[in-house]
Structure 1
Amino acid sequence: MSLTLLQAWQGAKARLEAAGITGPVIDARLLVEAAADATRADIVTDPYRALSPEQEARLEDYVSRRARREPVSHILGRKGFWKIMLSVTKDVLTPRPDTEVIVDEVLKAFPEGMAFQMLDLGVGSGAILLSVLAERPAAKGLGIDISEDALAVARDNAANLGLARQVALLRGDWTAGLGDASFDLVVSNPPYIATKVIETLDPEVRDHEPRLALDGGPDGLDAYRLLAPEILRVLKPGGVFAVEIGYDQKDAVEALFRDAGAAEVRTVLDLGNRDRVVTGVKNPLEIRL
């Protein structure tokens, strides 16, 4: 006898709960929707719709993989972020809601219709860059990443979202080769987890996310030491920067940017009330008469 949508969801939820998965209700729903070509509304309004044998087999594969702690984003190959849907692979960091704080701050600073040049260092899937450009069609953006595999994912996402004309994506080592005072906005979500902490992370992160996007060195601050002066170098006078940080890195990262010459440095909280984004501006050039 075939499973119904309701039975499939209930069974998946129970298996994920037994496996110790955080958020089994949502994960089970997402897997059922994908496996059964259904929507959230279908599960509510047509709960007794039967799955085909192929759909049941697909769901079994999905649930088994999730129970082994493979992220849902990797199983389905996609992840929603801000207002867009992104393709995701093992070669990029899975976009997280906490990172949306950067997008929110940027959109406040750059009004709709404004033309500006944006730089995303460590672009990964393109989550931050593409979310901003999708809402600011007059803007142009450059995304840089050291991983060619990550850039391939970002290129696909830019094309799928119809943003390829607004975006350039280049392989590079942070700001190497970029000219001074080139951008109105610089954003980054660099690796910021201390090396020794990585092994203590949830299996979804520790075993499935790219180490290159996680490892911030012995104290988690290696990237910021390099980025703070370099971001100020490539920003235009009056330009804005916004970088994601770890929950306990506020004071250290703020100090690095102040020492590099940034002004109006402050930290923005995420929805969990944790320190999440350090932002500020490059002082306008002084006019000497």
Structure 2
Amino acid sequence: MTIDAAITEASRSLKIAGIEQPAREARLLLAFVLDRPDSFIFAHPERELGTVEAERFGEAVRRRSLREPFHYIVGKREFYGLEFFVNPFVLIPRPETEIVVGEAIRTLEGLDRPRFIDVGTGSGCIAISILTNVKTARGTASDISVEAIRVARSNAANHDVLDRVDLLATDIFDAIGETRSDLVVSNPPYIAQIEIRSLQPEVREHEPKHALTDGMDGLRVLERIIRDAPKRLRPGGRLLLEIGAGQAGLVKRMFDERIWEDIHSIEDLQRIPRVISGRLSD
């Protein structure tokens, strides 16, 4: 079977499965199988696939047709200009989370040997992106999932920051020492349990539930982080939290204005408040 014929057949299968861009995903899956750039697929439509190549491509298309996330199939995801290994133990990094990273970098730049804590690190994408861009920083990254910490450790090693981050399998701050940090940052499970059923099957059926929802209203972990962060921050330190659409008002009201100041939201490109920022009073 030629590349062109394989793409045509795969596109048809993916379209039937409800994939929004079937031809594009078919090309990218074949490029992954062949370990070639996307441009190779366009340039060599008559190239014959070998038996093993055809079998591997067929398996990738089958998995995608079952709505397994594309990035789990290829095992990687680009985020903040870096490539991260991902698997079903960790949430796939989203573009909106790059807003959190940008704010974190701006917060830490210029500080003398800044320290930060990343709660619910997953793949490590937030912590590693910060460390890559703020060379003097040191971080602590926690996750309740031992498997997620393994993924984060692999990614930290791949990006040469393993010596600047402490990776802990713990619930929020539980096993983190008393050292005060300049920043606490988190992309917590903020989706309400009742909303899970309305998510795309890629998310609903394949991504780790504990990284999506607290099993209740989506606010419980946010509330715990806001409550406990002052014990982990230096005076003047900042808390950055990714939130869901429509949560900004509720989350802002969780901050005790007797100890927090400069509490504000930051919008994404769709003008949706996506990050809440607060500064611990001096």
Q: How far has the Cα of 1:180 moved from its partner?
A: 5.2
1:257 aligns with 2:259: no
Deviation (angstroms), 1:179: 4.8
Query: In structure 2, do the counterparts of structure 1 residues 98 and 10 end up closer, same or farther at CA, with 3 Å as the change threshold?
Result: farther
Residue 137 of structure 1 aligns to a residue whose secondary structure is coil
CA distance in 1, matches of 2:263, 2:23: 40
Q: Which residue of 1 aligns with 2:97?
A: 99
Please state whether the residue corresponding to 1:142 is helix, strand or coil: strand
Residue identity in the other structure for 2:97: T
Indicate conservation of the 8 Å contact 2:108/2:182, yes or no: no
Specify whether residues 135 and 25 from structure 1 end up closer, same or farther in structure 2 by C-alpha distance, changes over 3 A only: farther
Question: Do 1:266 and 1:278's aligned partners in 2 also have CA atoms closer than 8 Å?
Answer: yes
Q: 2:273 aligns with which of 251, 272, 275?
A: 275
Instruction: Find 1:164's aligned residue among 134, 154, 162.
Output: 162
Q: Equivalences for 1:50-129 in 2 at 5 Å?
A: 50-111=48-109, 115-129=113-127
Alpha carbons 1:186, 1:242 under 8 Å: kept:
yes
**Structural mapping, 1:149-160, within 5 Å:** 149-160=147-158
Structure 1 pair 174/17, CA: closer, same or farther in 2 (3 Å)? same
The CA deviation at 1:28 is: 2.2
State the 1:73 CA deviation. Answer: 1.4
TM-score by length of 2: 0.93
CA distance in 1, matches of 2:58, 2:239: 45
Alpha-carbon displacement from aligned partner over 1:260-287 (angstroms, at most 9, x marks no partner): 7321111111223222111121112xxx
Residue 36 of structure 1, aligned match among 34, 37, 43: 34
In the other structure, the counterpart of 1:3 is 2
RMSD between aligned alpha carbons?
Answer: 1.9
5+ residue gaps, structure 1, are 285-289
CA change 1:181–1:113 in 2 (3 A) is closer
Q: Deviations over 1:240-265 (max 9, x none)?
A: 22111010100011111245732111
* Unpaired segments ≥5 residues, structure 2: none
1:202-213 correspondence to structure 2 within 5 Å: 202-213=200-211
Partner amino acid for 1:186?
A: V
The one-letter amino acid paired with 2:136 is A
Correspondence for 2:186: 188
Distance 1:114 1:33 in 2: 44
Report the count of equivalent residues: 282
Structure 1 residues 78 and 260, CA gap change in structure 2 (3 angstroms): farther
Amino acid in structure 1 at the alignment position of 2:212: L
C-alpha offsets along residues 173-228 of structure 1, whole Å, 9 cap, x if unaligned?
A: 21124455611111101111111221222111111111111123432111111110
Cα 1:34–1:119 shift into 2, 3 Å:
same
SS of the equivalent of 1:256 reads: coil
- CA distance change for structure 1 residues 130 and 25 in 2, over 3 Å: closer, same or farther? farther
- Aligned twin of 1:234: 232
Aligned match of 2:241: 243
TM-score under structure 1 normalisation?
0.91
More divergent stretch after superposition (123-132 vs 105-114): 105-114
Change (3 A) 1:8 1:259: farther
Identity across the alignment (%): 37
